[in-house]
Structure 1
Amino acid sequence: ITFSFCLQCKEFTFHTGYEVLVQRLLEGKKMCKDVEDLLKQRAQAEERYGKELVQIARKAGGQTEINTLKAAFEMLKQQIESVGNSHIQLAVMLKEEVRGIEEFRERQKEQRKKYKSAMERMQKSKLSHYKKTMEAKKTYEQKCREADEAEQSFERTSASGNQKQTEKSQNKAKQCRDAANEAENIYKQNIEELDKVRTEWEQEHIKTCEV
């Protein structure tokens, strides 16, 4: 069973699966932004802390000391500056990560926009064709009832022996049956068109789910 299959709905006019997918994408977008903001704040903190350490090391005194104490003091300053530079370097790496997430988010935004537009267009077309098909079905059923009633009326009129009324009734029955046949053809044509639109919608649905 594919992911796209799981998100399809049993009801033809429902798009719950697609709506769930869109909602999850929006939640994913928010999560992506939250991670981006977190890393951005961490980078700022690392950079600020690193620069403070470097500044502390460079401003430290100890110039009047000599021999081993001076060497130890210089070593301590170097270590502090090194730690500060490490934090600054980490900030640079985090900023690179943030840029990568921003680029990913922008690509996803464009993809979402593209496929959302296509899906909404397909769903609108599917619902429009469904409505048209249901109207054609209703018309076909009505024409069939009218044809059946006209044919039954013709049979009753034929039994009465009135030739003029019989011919009139026969013509009406024929017209009603022709109208029913025409309505059937229109209904079948609408079913074929609806099935074509449904297939196109399913393909677009699968494509959207697999992005």
Structure 2
Amino acid sequence: MNKMTSFNEAFWGTDYLSTSGFDTMVKRVLDGKSLCKDMEGYFKQRAKMEADYSKSLANISKSLKSRDNIGQLEASWNALRCETDVAMTIHADASKLFSQLAEETRKFIEEANSKRKPSEEKMKKCQQVKATNYNKMTSAKKLYNQRCKDSDIAKQNYSLLKTSVTITAKDLDKARNQAEKCAEQADKADQAYQESVKGLEDARIQWEQEMVTVCETFQAMEEERINFSRDVLWAATNVDSKIAVDIDECGERVRTKLESCHIKDDICAFIEKFRTGEARPMAIPYENYYGVVNESHYAQI
């Protein structure tokens, strides 16, 4: 079985006054609008979150102090500080990108509304005209059937009275006039009924033409919405991927510094830069006030 790909083939129905096909399409378009609104809200929240995180990183960076590059550990620490600033910029840029996606989505929703509303309103008018003409036709048909029935009864009554031997001329004329009057009313009802059928058919044709237009319009809107939504969601995931890649590169630069950090090297670097000497202070000898050397004093010490 071939799958249907056209709204114009799928949203009709045999019920003369049914609007289920149109209502189904309208609901689909409105559901799509709700999804776009959710997407817009998500992008706005992500933009705020990325901006807040960027500000937090900025505050952290300001609180960190630079250290003299005595060894690779200090160099790694300073690299982490610098990469924190880079990460701050990465998340600030991500915030701008999510804000742009939110704005694009908002504009798309507005444009979709401008396309949907006129088509929806015009279609509803056509439905109302068709329903009004249907009710007129139904009433005209009912009256026509009643007038025909009255005319048949009047004709039968006149025919019976003509065969009666006791009927007076006056009563016979009265019956004939009644039959003629009922036949005339039936003719008028017949004409009114035929005109109502024609009016209904004109309204149905107009409705059908408008329904075709609405099917084409709404399908085009759905195709545009799916394409747009797919593109912006793809763009959003690309932002996330870029954040991950860029942040990983920040981490990799810090890791590269840390790979050069060796305990002995940093110890040696510190010693080389701040060494104060290799000779240790000598023992201070006891000096007797009277100049007498007391060797046992050293023994005690």
Give the TM-score of the pair, scaled to structure 1: 0.87
Local SS of the residue matching 1:14? coil
2:207 to 196, 201, 206: 201
**Which of 149, 152, 155 is matched with 1:151 structurally?**
155
User: In the alignment, which residue of structure 1 is the partner of 2:125?
Assistant: 121
Secondary structure (helix, strand or coil) at the match of 1:65 reads coil
**Cα distance change of structure 1 residues 66 and 58 upon mapping to structure 2, 3 Å threshold:** farther
**In the alignment, which residue of structure 2 is the partner of 1:49?**
53
CA distance in 2, matches of 1:60, 1:203: 71
Q: Read off the aligned partner of 2:131 and give its amino acid letter.
A: L
Label 1:5 to 1:199 Cα distance change in 2 as closer, same or farther (>3 A). Answer: farther
| Larger helix fraction of residues | 1
* Structure 1 residue 121, shift from structure 2 partner: 2.0
1:179 maps to 2:185 = yes
Separation in 1, partners of 2:122, 2:43: 34
CA–CA distance in structure 1, aligned partners of residues 209 and 70 of structure 2: 80
Q: How do 1:68-147 residues align onto structure 2 when only pairs under 5 Å count?
A: 71-147=75-151
1:210 Cα offset (Å): 2.4
Q: Over residues 144-190 of structure 1, what are the superposed CA-to-partner deviations in whole Å (9 max), with x where a residue is unaligned?
A: 00111111112112222544433332232222112111111111111
Specify which of 18, 30, 43 is matched with residue 39 of structure 1.
43
Cα offsets for 1:116-165 (capped at 9, x unmatched): 32222222222111111100000000000011111111211222254443
Find the aligned partners of 2:188 and 2:116 in 1 and give their Cα distance: 44
What's the counterpart of residue 24 of structure 1?
28
Amino acid of the structure 1 residue aligned with 2:188:
E
Matches of 1:75 and 1:203, distance apart in 2: 70
The equivalent of 2:14 in structure 1 is 10
The amino acid of 2:147's aligned partner reads K
How many positions carry a matched residue from both structures?
211
CA offset digits 1:51-107 (Å, max 9, x no partner): 322443354312433576665444333322222212211111111110011111122
RMSD: 2.3
Report the counterpart of residue 174 of structure 2 in structure 1: 168
* Structure 1 unaligned regions, length at least 5: none
Conserved 8 A contact 2:67-2:78? no
Q: Secondary structure at the match of 2:13?
A: coil
Does the CA-based 8 Å contact 1:51-1:85 persist in structure 2? no
Q: Distance in 1 between matches of 2:212 and 2:56?
A: 53
Query: What is the aligned counterpart of 1:190 among 192, 196, 210?
Result: 196
The alignment partner of 2:163 has SS state of helix
Counterpart position of 2:262: none
Secondary structure of the 1:160 match is coil
Gaps of 5+ in 2: 218-301
Identity %: 28
Larger Rg: 2
Deviates more, 1:85-94 or 1:12-21: 12-21
